[in-house]
Amino acid sequence: MTALVARLRRNPLLAYGLLAVLLLLLPFLVGAGLGRGWVRVLDFVLLYSMLALGLNIVVGYAGLLDLGYIAFYALGAYLFAWLSSPHFGIHLPFWLVLPTGAALAGLFGVLLGAPTLRLRGDYLAIVTLGFGEIIRIFMNNLDAPINVTNGPQGINLIDPIRIAGLSLGQTTQLAGITFSPPHLYYYFFLAMTLATVFVALRLQDSRIGRAWAAIREDEVAAAAMGINTRNIKLLAFAMGAMFGGLAGGLFAAFQGFISPESFNLMESIMILCMIVLGGMGNVPGVLLGAFLLTVLPEALRYVGDWQRAVLGNVVVDPNDLRMLLFGLAMVMMMLYRPAGLIPSRQRRREFDADDGVAEQEQASLYDAGA
């Protein structure tokens, strides 16, 4: 095993090749080993990865705490439903609707960002939280006088994604292999996720990424360096929102049904937790966080079955247990790995440095003479 790891370290091409094969075979391995339902979970892992990467731009890169992020997911999902379902009788192709949804979400990102430019930390969190709720309540109530959102019933029969005549919503035989809809969506989501990972990584190392880091550290000093803090902050809101809008459109097509219920505050908090748990500002960490927080709640559903098998009846509702274990896990994380499971280079140094700062300050008393 260690020999293999060493070999992979020396040969990144081989490592990426193995990873690619694993990712391509994953839905079949998971489907065979754990059952069909888990392929759907994999699809959600990818959806949440995109969402978490988007929120990571706002929170991790630019340091702007956004508790209403799910609103952009909702906007993307509803736009897809409006332009691609019997609700309005419009059936536009996905390659037109997805970018439009991302653009609409981006526009709302700017609309949310503009009045909150002067706010930071707690104040920003409260305003964004309100924004998220406003969007959800609008979706709940915009069924009269004109039925725009169909209220709490949601919108049904949303078109699946069709690529060159192939509907991802239908079981298909390709080269003798049977692909169910979750399998087909898996590959489509995988491609989209890889694209967002690429964009997120490039942004981090770009001039804009450095400007975000500067604003996160000290906004006044950043402006004095010639950084247009207003535009760069709005850009963070817009970019993050676009990722959310894109994921929302994919979610609508995948589910075929959306309702305001899917876009509540708990979802926003969950996505934030993915970032914090995995490692804020760090792409691999964020991906790990999205994976764990999507898979663990599903896995904990089995706890009910075990209770029934061992004790004869369900003593603790798995749903309650899930939240309990989840809370416990977050507390443990904050105590033992506050920078996240895979912290970014900066966060790691920062937490390591905390121990070193006292020493440094001691040394500085003498360094004038050095």
Partner 1 sequence: MSLLRVKGLKVHYGGIQAVRGIDFEVGEGELVCLIGANGAGKSSTLKGLMGMVQCSGQVTFGGTRLSNLATHAIAARGLSLVPEGRGIFGRLTVAENLDIGAYTRRERAYVRADLERMYGLFPRLAERRSQLAGTLSGGEQQMLAMARAMMARPRLLLLDEPSMGLAPLMVQKIYQTVADIASEGVAILLVEQNAHLALHTSQRGYVMESGSIVLSGPSQALANDPGVKAAYLGE
Using DSSP, how many helices (H) and how many strands (E) does the chain show?
Answer: 15, 6
Which segment (18-26, 99-107, 224-232, 310-318) binds partner 1 by CB under 8 A?
224-232
Query: Alpha-carbon distance 295 to 222, whole Å?
Result: 40
Is there binding between residue 217 and partner 1 (CB under 8 A)? yes
Nearest distance in Å: CB 240, partner 1: 21
Is there binding between residue 360 and partner 1 (CB under 8 A)? yes
User: Locate tokens 């690619």: which residue?
Assistant: 20
CA 110 and chain centroid, separation: 19
Nearest distance in Å: CB 83, partner 1: 39
Which segment (29-37, 115-123, 215-223, 321-329) binds partner 1 by CB under 8 A?
215-223
Maximum alpha-carbon separation in the chain: 79
Question: Nearer Cβ to partner 1, position 226 or 312?
Answer: 226
Nearest to 315 by CA among 333, 303, 325: 303
Is there binding between residue 220 and partner 1 (CB under 8 A)? yes
Which segment (12-20, 79-87, 142-150, 216-224) binds partner 1 by CB under 8 A?
216-224
Contacting residue, 92, 224, 316, 331, with partner 1 by CB under 8 A? 224
C-alpha distances (whole Å) from 290 to each of 3, 6, 47, 179, 203 are 29, 27, 9, 25, 20
Helix (H, G, I), strand (E, B) or coil at 359: helix
Is there binding between residue 1 and partner 1 (CB under 8 A)? no
| Side chain identity at residue 214, one-letter code | A
Contact 61, 210 (CB under 8 A): no
Which segment (17-25, 97-105, 204-212, 254-262) binds partner 1 by CB under 8 A?
204-212
User: Locate tokens 């089995």: which residue?
Assistant: 302
Burial, 352: exposed, middle or buried (Cβ in 10 Å; 0-12, 13-18, 19+)? exposed
Is there binding between residue 26 and partner 1 (CB under 8 A)? no
Per the structure block, which two tokens stand in for 11? 């040969």
Is there binding between residue 308 and partner 1 (CB under 8 A)? no
Is there binding between residue 349 and partner 1 (CB under 8 A)? yes
Question: Nearer Cβ to partner 1, position 218 or 305?
Answer: 218
Is there binding between residue 214 and partner 1 (CB under 8 A)? yes
Query: Alpha-carbon distance 328 to 345, whole Å?
Result: 26
Helix (H, G, I), strand (E, B) or coil at 166: strand
Nearest distance in Å: CB 348, partner 1: 10
Is there binding between residue 227 and partner 1 (CB under 8 A)? yes
Contacting residue, 33, 89, 145, 369, with partner 1 by CB under 8 A? 369
Contacting residue, 11, 141, 206, 364, with partner 1 by CB under 8 A? 364
Query: Alpha-carbon distance 65 to 56, whole Å?
Result: 10
Q: What are phi and psi of 271, to 5 degrees?
A: -65, -40
Nearest distance in Å: CB 6, partner 1: 26
Is there binding between residue 206 and partner 1 (CB under 8 A)? no
Which segment (67-75, 220-228, 233-241, 311-319) binds partner 1 by CB under 8 A?
220-228
β partners of residue 177: 174
Contact 130, 68 (CB under 8 A): yes
Is there binding between residue 205 and partner 1 (CB under 8 A)? no
| Side chain identity at residue 358, one-letter code | A
In the stretch 149-188, what mask flags binding to partner 1 with x, by CB under 8 A?
A: ----------------------------------------
Is there binding between residue 296 and partner 1 (CB under 8 A)? no
Is there binding between residue 41 and partner 1 (CB under 8 A)? no
Query: Alpha-carbon distance 29 to 32, whole Å?
Result: 5
Contact 57, 109 (CB under 8 A): no
Nearest distance in Å: CB 275, partner 1: 17
Residues lying near partner 1 in the complex (CB under 8 A) are found at 207, 210-211, 213-214, 217-218, 220-230, 346, 349-350, 353, 356-357, 360-361, 363-365, 367-369
